[in-house]
Structure 1
Amino acid sequence: MSFIKNHIAQQTLNRRKMLLLSAYGLCGAAFGASVRPGRAAPAPRDIKVAWSYRDRTNPYWNGIVSGGEAFVESLGWSRGDMINLINGGSSEKSLSDVKSLLSRYGNKTALAIDPNDMPNCRPVVEAVSQTGAYVSTIWNKTDDLHPWDFGDNYVSHMTWSDVQPSEQTARVLFDAMGGKGGVVHLGGIASNNPAIERLKGLKNALKAYPNIELLAVQAADWDTQKANQVMSGFLTRYGDAIKGVHCASDTMAYGVIEALLAEGAGNIPVVSYDGNPQAVQMVTQGKLLATVFTNPHWAGGITASLAYHAAIGSFRPSQEPREHREFYGPATVVTTSDAKDFKAKYIDSNPQYNWNDFWSLAKGPIKYDT
């Protein structure tokens, strides 16, 4: 499990760097350096492509950004031509970075972004729309915010229907527990759509397993170190009553497993979500029971492509059907029975995607609870 310790150490280093950059007013320097004067990219209207996200040391977000870089390389650019806005999980910084980007490039901006939490999506979209730029979002927005209410400027929103896959992983976990015993859940940021849906999936599965008891639910904010601390607290409080762990992300599962091993409880089964390379490898080894792959490489590339092509006028978002403006991304549950084949196809090498085929892997329009 040395990679888990290395992952925790890298998160600590990254956090320190973010604090130093913030203190000296240098956050966002990554995007300033990537578009130095004199670097003319062969793009119509001199459009600047940017990705705003939490943290590249997180394997999931690294997959997202790698997809964005693959897209800009398909334009004949270098991957360094993509502007990186790294918010470190701060919605305030996310919005501030976007506004700085817009003040510099105005309507020549094509932005791909996870707004970090649901409430932050509206001010981001409004700032982009008022500037005449273009934005495509993923994961987090409120149900009353829709791309078609902003003409062409709010290009699209992609999320994932996490309830059913999360329920599937919970069932895998409960079966491994013999259908009885206590389970704990470590969730993401409470206001995040995926955190809400993944907990709902767990609770749906519980209805079919009357002898499984949900001992505790606690947010660990998608963070490996915090998950390690939360799991240590659960072990202190519940001890041997814990027979299984349901995690809302792979990165939190790494911290959980480290805590379990430290207490000599490495035999407790764990399931997670995101399908990161390390997690899929752990599933092949039986160290995780299951994870859920959401194809971040494709999502990162397509989200950037949609914003860019809207910006250069390749298509008019307002003329597209609504299922092309709000749609679900793909999700695949990976278990020990199929992890090796899955790893060979999707992890060991990224499939080649046509970045102009925007909705090839989309799984239908987003549905809202009425």
Structure 2
Amino acid sequence: MSFIKNYIEHQTLNRRNLLLLSAWGLCGAAASSSLIGRQAAAATSPDPKICWSYRDRTNPFWNSIVAGGEAFVRSLGRQSGDLINLINGGSSEKSLSDIQSLLSRYGSGVALAVDPNDMPNCRPVVEAVSHAGAYVSTIWNKTDDLHPWDFGDNYVSHMTWSDVGPSEQTARVLFDAMGGKGGVVHLGGIASNNPAIERQQGFKNALKAYPNIQLLAIQAADWDTQKANQVMSGFLTRYGDAIKGVHCASDTMAYGVIEALRAEGIENMPVVSYDGNPQAIEMIAKGKLLATVFTNAYWAGGITASLAYYAATGAFKPSAEPREHREFYGPTAVITTKDAQEFKTKYIDTNPEYNWKDFWSLAKGPIRYKS
């Protein structure tokens, strides 16, 4: 379990260092204002710049996302370093500013893969890309009224994951491990994030089937290991022995929770999480974590970049595709102690090889919205 302690100790320093790698966050922000209000003609480019805009590569999930993006770039005969990294550190303002600066420099010659960080930020990101005549594929966060087909070909696609069902499954695994009774706490992500909302809903859905499980508290820890450690320490001070299980909306928060439990001498409390990071899978295989949900971040990172790139080159026309190819769910799988070792061998010890031109091979159908 020493990696958790090291992860917490080095997370802040590593994040600061990685932010320095954000090539366009350091300069050119002033020039980005020229993009606003200018609609560029749609155009394709034989050699677009490929970029991934994301939160923080010190997070294992985002590390897998970018590793998939790099694998796609290598499939083109390029070097991994040809992928431009825009690291926003969880700031929607920085996310948009970096993207505007990138567009200011390269104009329509950009193929962008991005998590906009929160739902409201997706629209200005997409509008900036569309005005520049570039191409963008998004994941996770957008508002329900924003759709790729409203932007012609420039907004290529949006991928998210149907988190309610898998989160409910992990909650049921947790409640069963608790013997169907006792107090439980939930640590959530950023309140305005789609996955945080859906994972909390799945947790609440499971509670309805377990009348003897008592919900003690729900609190956001913003996907952050250190904050989750602090939140869990506060829960232990407030509720003490009444806590019999912990439901986390991400693996990285679960690491902070487990360290907080260990600090109090608690070694065997059942904890479940989400994302299927390599460390989490290894912990499940060793019985240190009860369950997680694998979202195949590696494939998602590669295929999101691939969609933007091949649209930018004119290899396919997004507006000619059916809507289920413009907005779709990514794959999920609940991993428990029963299958963790086999899963680790197949997906963690080595990455499967994917055909990056088979865009929707692992897609799980069109996104469905609540009426």
Shorter chain as denominator, the TM-score bin is: over 0.9
Specify the alignment match of 2:115 in structure 1.
114
Aligned to 1:339: 340
Instruction: Please give the alpha-carbon distance, in whole angstroms, between the structure 2 residues aligned to 1:368 and 1:84.
Output: 31
Specify the alignment match of 2:138 in structure 1: 137
Residue 18 of structure 1 and its aligned partner are, at CA, apart by: 6.4
Tell me, in whole angstroms, the C-alpha distance in 1 between the residues paired with 2:15 and 2:56.
9
Contact 2:24–2:102 (8 Å) recurs in 1: no
User: AA paired with 2:122?
Assistant: C
Residue 254 of structure 1 is matched in structure 2 by 255
Question: Alignment partner of 2:74: what SS?
Answer: helix
How much does 1:44 deviate?
A: 5.8
2:5 is the alignment partner of 1:8: no
Secondary structure of the 1:46 match is coil
Q: Offset of 1:2 from its aligned partner?
A: 1.0
2:25 to 6, 23, 28: 28
TM-score, length-normalised on structure 2?
A: 0.94
Query: What are structure 1's unaligned runs of at least 5 residues?
Result: 32-42
Change beyond 3 A, Cα 1:30–1:247: farther
Post-superposition CA distance 1:347-366 (Å, at most 9, x none): 10000000000000000000
Q: Check if 1:152 corresponds to 2:153.
A: yes
Report if the CA contact (8 A) 1:30-1:83 is conserved.
Answer: no
CA contact (8 A) 2:24 2:101 kept: no
Shift of 1:346: 0.5
For the structure 1 residues 211 and 251, does the alpha-carbon distance in structure 2 shift closer, same or farther, using more than 3 Å as the test? same
Shift of 1:5: 1.3
* d(CA) in 2 for partners of 1:67, 1:279: 19
Partner residue of 2:38?
none
Shift of the 28–310 alpha-carbon distance from structure 1 to 2, 3 Å rule, reads same
Displacement, 1:233?
Answer: 0.1
Over residues 10-45 of structure 1, what are the superposed CA-to-partner deviations in whole Å (9 max), with x where a residue is unaligned?
A: 2110344368x59xx9763599xxxxxxxxxxx962
Q: What is the Cα deviation at residue 258 of structure 1?
A: 0.1
Matched residues, number: 356
**Partner SS for 2:3:** helix
52 and 26 in structure 1: CA distance in 2 versus 1, 3 angstrom threshold: closer
**What amino acid is aligned across from residue 109 of structure 2 in structure 1?**
K
The secondary structure found in structure 2 opposite 1:191 is coil
Change in Cα spacing, 1:26 to 1:309, as seen in structure 2 (3 Å) is closer
Contact 1:18 1:27 in 2 (8 A): no
Look up the match of 1:364: 365
Query: Which residue number in structure 1 is paired with residue 356 of structure 2?
Result: 355
Corresponding residue of 1:327:
328
Match of 1:199 in 2: 200
- Separation in 2, partners of 1:46, 1:314: 12
Preserved contact between residue 28 and residue 84 of structure 1 (Cα < 8 Å): no
In structure 2, what is the equivalent of residue 57 of structure 1?
A: 58
Q: Partner residue of 2:280?
A: 279
Q: How does 1:168-179 map to 2 (within 5 A)?
A: 168-179=169-180
Paired residues for 1:201-220 under 5 Å: 201-220=202-221
Q: Deviations over 1:129-170 (max 9, x none)?
A: 011000000000000000000000000000000000000000
Q: Which residue of 2 aligns with 1:239?
A: 240
After the TM superposition, which segments of 4 or more aligned residues of structure 1 sit over 3 Å from their partners?
Answer: 15-19, 25-31
TM-score (norm 1): 0.94
- C-alpha distance in 1, partners of 2:83/2:26? 13
Query: Within 2, Cα distance between the matches of 1:127 and 1:64?
Result: 23
Tell me by how many angstroms 1:266 deviates.
1.8
Gaps of 5+ in 2: 29-43
Structure 2: how far apart are the matches of 1:154 and 1:44? 15
Q: Distance in 2 between matches of 1:232 and 1:18?
A: 28
Structure 2 CA distance for aligned equivalents of residues 190 and 175 of structure 1: 27
| Contact 1:160–1:329 (CA under 8 A) maintained in structure 2 | yes
CA–CA distance in structure 2, aligned partners of residues 88 and 59 of structure 1: 14
Superposition deviation, residue 86 in structure 1: 0.2
Moved more, 107-116 or 2-11: 2-11
Aligned to 1:310: 311
- Asked if the contact 1:49–1:83 (Cα under 8 Å) also holds between the matched residues in 2, the reply is yes
Distance, in Å, in 1 between the alignment partners of 2:325 and 2:27 is 32
Kindly state the Cα deviation for residue 9 of structure 1 after the two structures are TM-superposed.
Answer: 2.1
Q: For 2:265 and 2:27, locate their aligned partners in 1 and report how far apart those are by CA, in whole Å.
A: 42
Root-mean-square deviation over aligned CA pairs: 1.7
Q: Percent identity?
A: 81
Q: Pairwise mapping of residues 68-87 of structure 1 onto structure 2 (< 5 A)?
A: 68-87=69-88
Which string of whole-angstrom CA distances, capped at 9 and with x for unpartnered residues, describes residues 74-95 of structure 1?
A: 0000000000000000000000
